[in-house]
Structure 1
Amino acid sequence: MHQSISIYAHRGLSGRYPENTMDAFQAALEAGAQGIELDVQLSKDGQMVIIHDEKINRTTDGTGYVKDFSYAELRQFDAGSWFNPVFANQYIPTLEEVFKWATKDGNQLIINVELKNDVIRYEGLEEKVLSLLYRYRLQDRVILSSFNPESVKRLRELDANMKIGYLILGIHKNAVKIAENIGANAIHCEEAFALSQYGKEAISAGFPLRIYTVNEASKFKVLFEAGAEVIMTDYPDLPLEK
């Protein structure tokens, strides 16, 4: 396989650990992943918290919207038992906690931070994320992404050099044109787009493809051969076909 291909752990090693928790991220590091993907939202008091859904219902023992709780309140919810009782008392981490962990010796993971602002528009999220990664000097190890084209555009206005991915669903015929207009320098897509003529056109236009979420090792080789730069998977510990 091409040496430039990277495997990122989607929400950490989320096939075997509760997603977007510190245990899932540490497990991804130990499994040999090249990167992790995670999701960031804002709490009621403006803290950058790591959780995928706009509501806490699915992945904690609480109910309600992330935005309606302070971080101190969010921290009290159990974010592990829903996955398996052995993970009881896992919690929702902050982005700063992840960045601190990422700067420890032996940790060189790339961190793909998805700004979850396509359903709820978190004002100032772009500035907050950039400010924090600058503070931890992680510019070269962080990729930012969003489904919200306005958010991608704002990130590019704030930083001319960051790696920024435009997230799309399905076979998006205008993805390249939009990515060009908003300043993205990669497209984060599903398998269907990567294997379509539009995926080929994106690569030809200079947009690397980072593909989510591929959980069958048998598909990795096909996607590598199609020109994928990154494959995101819940199981980064799957054996890869040569």
Structure 2
Amino acid sequence: MASKAKNNDFTLIAHRGASYDAPENTFESFDLALELGFANIETDIQLTSDGRVVVIHDSELDRTTDATGLVAETTIAKIKSLNAGLWFEGPDDGAGVKGPMAYPEAFVPTLDDILERYAGKIHLHLELKSKEPELSELAHKSLEKWGWLDQSTGGYESPGLTMTSFHFEQLERSIALMPNIAHGWLVQNLDKATLTAAFELGLSGIYPNASKVTKKQVTDAHKAGLSVRTWGIADSKPNLHRAYRSGATGTTVDWPAIAREVIEAI
């Protein structure tokens, strides 16, 4: 029986850090990803009410901090005072300290915090999460300030930088500011219309939901000069298999250490 082809270009990207084992989008999560051997790390940025760029996924504070309300309606001073680890229970594996006791000092970092701490150490996959036009401009200023625009941007080498967003308008703004940096469009499905739009804008890649990606879609994207990596793998190992076998160059995943074992067994 013929063996299945290996996808040697497949890269596992720690989604919001090692977010299965530590509070997402915190130093604790990013540090753990590095400790586990994953230098490709994805994170999200949004704006506070006073125009500061913070690292947080949800538009609301409720799920991942000890406060409520919208990020966009909260000042940086307030956000910096919040705990970002009390909510986290962690995997129920019976080993070590889990839950609030494990992360008493976790906080919501600013983009500047992340860029300073991990400069020269990681390939950052930076998602422009919200829609404000100023977000891409302020992100560009911080990236330039901390020297990230001078780092390697080819493939998934570390150090490096890839800008991403679900919002096409944000990508238009960002690529105009940083034309030499890799940009990828996060989409639900990779169809002809999205492929054409991505190509015409001059994006480096297009990033579909892992549950929908097919080998033909990836082949078509590659013919158009676009890389493909996937997202949306929460706790579904079948979707990890699907992404790997599609020919995609990688995926974001909350549990990169487990995912590494899974793909090594394929």
Task: With the length of structure 1 as denominator, give the TM-score of the two structures.
Answer: 0.90
Structure 1 equivalent of residue 221 of structure 2: 202
Structure 1 equivalent of residue 156 of structure 2: none
Instruction: Give yes or no for the alignment of 1:5 onto 2:10.
Output: yes
Moved over 6 A (4+): none
1:55 is paired with a residue of what secondary structure? coil
Aligned counterpart in structure 2 of residue 124 of structure 1, from 109, 129, 134: 134
Instruction: Give yes or no for the alignment of 1:57 onto 2:62.
Output: yes
Structure 2 equivalent of residue 24 of structure 1: 29
Structure 2 equivalent of residue 138 of structure 1: 148
Structure 2 equivalent of residue 73 of structure 1: 78
Tell me the distance in 1 between the aligned counterparts of 2:215 and 2:246.
9
Unpaired runs of 5+ in structure 1? none
Tell me the distance in 1 between the aligned counterparts of 2:46 and 2:138.
11
Structure 2 equivalent of residue 191 of structure 1: 210
After the TM superposition, which residues 191-230 of structure 1 pair with which residues of structure 2 at under 5 Å, given as runs?
191-195=210-214, 197-214=216-233, 215-216=235-236, 219-230=239-250
**AA in 2 matched with 1:133:** L
CA contact (8 A) 2:54 2:108 kept: yes
2:170 is paired with a residue of what secondary structure? helix
Aligned counterpart in structure 1 of residue 125 of structure 2, from 98, 102, 112: 112
Tell me the distance in 2 between the aligned counterparts of 1:172 and 1:74.
39
Q: Is the deviation greater in 95-104 or in 4-13?
A: 95-104
RMSD, aligned α-carbons: 1.9
1:54 is paired with a residue of what secondary structure? coil
Q: Cα offset for 1:173?
A: 4.5
Tell me the distance in 2 between the aligned counterparts of 1:163 and 1:124.
20
Q: Cα offset for 1:137?
A: 1.8
CA contact (8 A) 1:11 1:36 kept: yes
Q: Is the deviation greater in 95-104 or in 215-224?
A: 215-224
Structure 1 equivalent of residue 100 of structure 2: 85
Post-superposition CA distance 1:214-241 (Å, at most 9, x none): 2455654543332111211101111132
After the TM superposition, which residues 175-186 of structure 1 pair with which residues of structure 2 at under 5 Å, given as runs?
175-186=194-205
CA gap 1:14/1:115 in 2 versus in 1, 3 angstroms? same
Task: With the length of structure 2 as denominator, give the TM-score of the two structures.
Answer: 0.82
Aligned counterpart in structure 2 of residue 149 of structure 1, from 133, 150, 168: 168
